[in-house]
């Protein structure tokens, strides 16, 4: 595979480190835990790991409030552990993508500690300070975005928690310090980055009021015109890309806050970021026409610009697909969306545990850890649900830890775990692994065009993936709970998913059934 590009052709697997595997018994997953499961990940067939933050953090936002961007929180290990993880991952052909949170730091970060102490210090201007509350800007997690500090008799701005002050990217020293963080990790052989809310790095220089609109929460009752998406971002993205290009095969995917097609066009491309997440797809309901809409929007962007699409079904902020789509413990619907994820034209992102169909945990109010959950329960129960520990086996705490897990393990773990599913050829684990293998066996699934197929059958989504000199793949997905039958496109077809029925004459689909056929 000479023309293989890992971030285009491969599958990226997101790990939320504190929930993956604990080797110390402190109830939190750690870097060594990830290293110890690399063989599992290599066997699953993934090409890269995106690691959610493992940097020192006071845990106001569970890792997304960082107090040192170039170190490892001692609860998760050491820099030596990190280096070992990179070495061992690379040995298996697995790339490492880090989560870079450069919009804000923790309020415990030494930069902020210095900055907040008084108005006359070397970092006085490293955050966004103002004598009054200058505008109506709101915090995403609730409340005003400006917090008073008596030592300075001033307010600072935080788009998220008050423990997450936004840095002042307009200050050249800050800019340089952030670029140094990127370089630090590149030098440590990191292959790419996921950029947390990168498009809000810059805010309006005059700090103007956001116009109002209708909405539920205060944050949603404004148009976010001035607290993000400023023109200064473009040269920054270009510089970041130049830095990445100094190293071979590096990659950056951006988490675009309030993503729109226009923003994706503005921030991605050959001189800017490589990729942007597709949240319309990720948040879609279980309806073929809604998924298709999200896919076609991306196809259009890709066609116009050459930006490579990507697809995910969940992440550490979003309920898992099985929680949203499945009927009870049945995996038919989860398999269907997994088949779609892994056969579309775009990089698939898997969130850890999706391969075994993990479901969210539900917590009582007094068990909630996540700040928005604490604040808005029961309307918003927070994001703890999708962050519960990985279910490895049927032993206590699902083999995740010998201690007390930081979040409860799902009660279904005795049945739903990696060990049990490895022994069951019909499990979603085997299904996922098979699809990942098929992607490598049929290059059309990686790089081929996406061509919608009109079936005329309600509830069925069908498409072909075509690539010159390679076998065409036909995919049909029945989103209904009833059996369906559709026409096959012209030609002779081989069932490459169910090898028991290689030559297919009719496209029969079981309820929530999947057909994946290769043209002879």
Judged by the rule CB under 6 A, the positions of this chain that interact with ligand NOJ are 61, 64, 101, 160, 196-197, 255, 316-317
Q: How far is the CB of 38 from ligand NOJ (least distance, A)?
A: 24
Angle at 193 between CA 187 and CA 198, to 5 degrees: 125
Select the residue whose beta carbon is closest to ligand NOJ and give its number. 64
Q: How far is the CB of 507 from ligand NOJ (least distance, A)?
A: 39
CA separation (Å) from 253 to 50, 347, 352?
10, 11, 18
Selection from 224, 196, 229, 221 nearest residue 210 by Cα: 224
**C-beta closer to ligand NOJ: residue 406 or 450:** 406
The answer to whether the beta carbons of residues 69 and 58 sit under 8 Å apart is no
Q: How far is the CB of 345 from ligand NOJ (least distance, A)?
A: 25
Q: How far apart are the first and last CA of the chain?
A: 22
452 membership: H or E segment, kind and range? strand 449-452
Q: How far is the CB of 218 from ligand NOJ (least distance, A)?
A: 17
**C-beta closer to ligand NOJ: residue 373 or 513:** 373
Angle at 496 between CA 491 and CA 502, to 5 degrees: 70
**C-beta closer to ligand NOJ: residue 320 or 433:** 320
**C-beta closer to ligand NOJ: residue 191 or 255:** 255
| 406: its two tokens | 């930081």
Q: How far is the CB of 41 from ligand NOJ (least distance, A)?
A: 22
The answer to whether the beta carbons of residues 146 and 156 sit under 8 Å apart is yes
The residue ranges of DSSP E strands in 168-288, in sequence order, are: 192-195, 251-254, 275-276
Q: How far is the CB of 450 from ligand NOJ (least distance, A)?
A: 27
Q: Tell me the Cα Rg of the chain.
A: 23
Q: How far is the CB of 518 from ligand NOJ (least distance, A)?
A: 37
| 217: its two tokens | 């929460």
| 464: its two tokens | 């072909």
Q: Point out the residues that are catalytic.
A: 196, 246
Complete DSSP assignment for 156-169: EE-SS-TTSPBB-T
**C-beta closer to ligand NOJ: residue 140 or 438:** 140
CA separation (Å) from 244 to 70, 119, 273, 277, 393?
17, 35, 10, 19, 39
Give the whole-angstrom CA distance, residue 384 versus residue 366: 12
Q: How far is the CB of 174 from ligand NOJ (least distance, A)?
A: 17
Selection from 100, 107, 29 nearest residue 65 by Cα: 107
Give the whole-angstrom CA distance, residue 300 versus residue 297: 5
The answer to whether the beta carbons of residues 376 and 447 sit under 8 Å apart is no
**C-beta closer to ligand NOJ: residue 107 or 331:** 107
| 273: its two tokens | 């970021």
Angle at 165 between CA 163 and CA 171, to 5 degrees: 160
In the β-sheet with 493-495, what is the strand arrangement from edge to edge?
Answer: 449-452, 460-466, 473-478, 514-519, 493-495, 503-504
């Amino acid at each position: 595979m000479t023309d293989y590009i890992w971030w285009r052709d491969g599958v990226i697997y997101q790990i939320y480190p504190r929930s993956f595997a604990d080797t110390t018994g402190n109830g939190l997953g750690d870097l060594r835990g990830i290293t110890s499961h690399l063989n599992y990940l290599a066997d699953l067939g993934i090409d890269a790991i995106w690691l959610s933050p493992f940097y020192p953090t006071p845990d106001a936002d569970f890792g997304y409030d960082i107090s040192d961007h170039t170190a490892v929180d001692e609860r998760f290990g050491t820099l030596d552990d990190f280096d070992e993880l990179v070495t061992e991952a690379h040995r298996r052909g697995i790339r490492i993508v880090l989560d870079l949170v450069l919009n804000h730091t923790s309020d415990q970060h030494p930069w902020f500690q210095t900055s907040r102490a008084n108005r006359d210090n070397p970092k006085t201007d490293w955050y966004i300070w103002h004598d009054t509350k200058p505008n109506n800007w709101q915090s995403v997690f609730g409340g005003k975005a400006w917090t008073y500090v008596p030592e300075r008799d001033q307010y600072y701005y935080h788009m998220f928690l008050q423990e997450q002050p936004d840095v002042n990217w307009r200050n050249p020293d800050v800019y340089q310090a952030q670029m140094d963080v990127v370089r630090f990790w590149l030098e440590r052989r990191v292959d790419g980055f996921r950029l947390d809310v990168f498009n809000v790095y810059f805010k309006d220089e005059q700090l103007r009021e956001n116009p109002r609109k209708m909405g539920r929460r205060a944050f949603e009752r404004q148009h976010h015109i001035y607290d993000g998406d400023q023109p200064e971002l473009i040269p920054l993205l270009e510089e970041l890309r130049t830095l990445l290009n100094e190293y071979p095969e590096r990659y950056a995917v951006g988490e675009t806050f309030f993503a729109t097609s226009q923003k994706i066009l503005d921030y991605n491309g050959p001189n800017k970021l490589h990729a942007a997440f597709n949240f319309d797809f990720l948040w879609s309901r279980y309806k073929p026409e809604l998924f298709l809409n999200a896919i076609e929007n991306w196809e259009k962007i890709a066609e116009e610009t050459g930006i490579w699409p990507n697809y995910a079904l969940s992440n550490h902020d979003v309920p898992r697909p099985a929680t949203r789509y499945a009927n009870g413990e049945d995996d038919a619907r989860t398999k269907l969306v997994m088949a779609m994820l892994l056969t579309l034209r775009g990089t698939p992102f898997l969130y850890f545990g999706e391969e075994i169909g993990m479901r969210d945990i539900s917590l009582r109010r007094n068990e909630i850890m996540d700040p928005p959950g604490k604040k808005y329960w029961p309307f918003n129960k927070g994001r703890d649900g999708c962050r519960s520990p990985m279910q490895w086996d049927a032993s206590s705490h699902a083999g995740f830890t010998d201690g007390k897990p930081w979040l409860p393990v799902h009660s279904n773990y005795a049945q739903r775990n990696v060990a049990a599913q490895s022994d069951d050829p019909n499990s979603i684990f085997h299904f996922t692994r098979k699809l990942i293998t098929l992607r490598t066996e049929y290059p059309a699934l990686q790089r081929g065009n996406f061509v919608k197929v009109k079936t005329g059958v309600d509830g069925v989504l069908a498409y072909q993936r075509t690539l010159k000199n390679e076998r065409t793949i036909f995919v049909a997905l029945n989103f209904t709970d009833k059996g369906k039958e559709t026409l096959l496109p012209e030609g002779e077809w081989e069932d490459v998913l169910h090898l028991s029925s290689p030559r297919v004459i009719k496209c029969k689909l079981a309820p929530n059934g999947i057909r994946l056929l290769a043209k002879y």
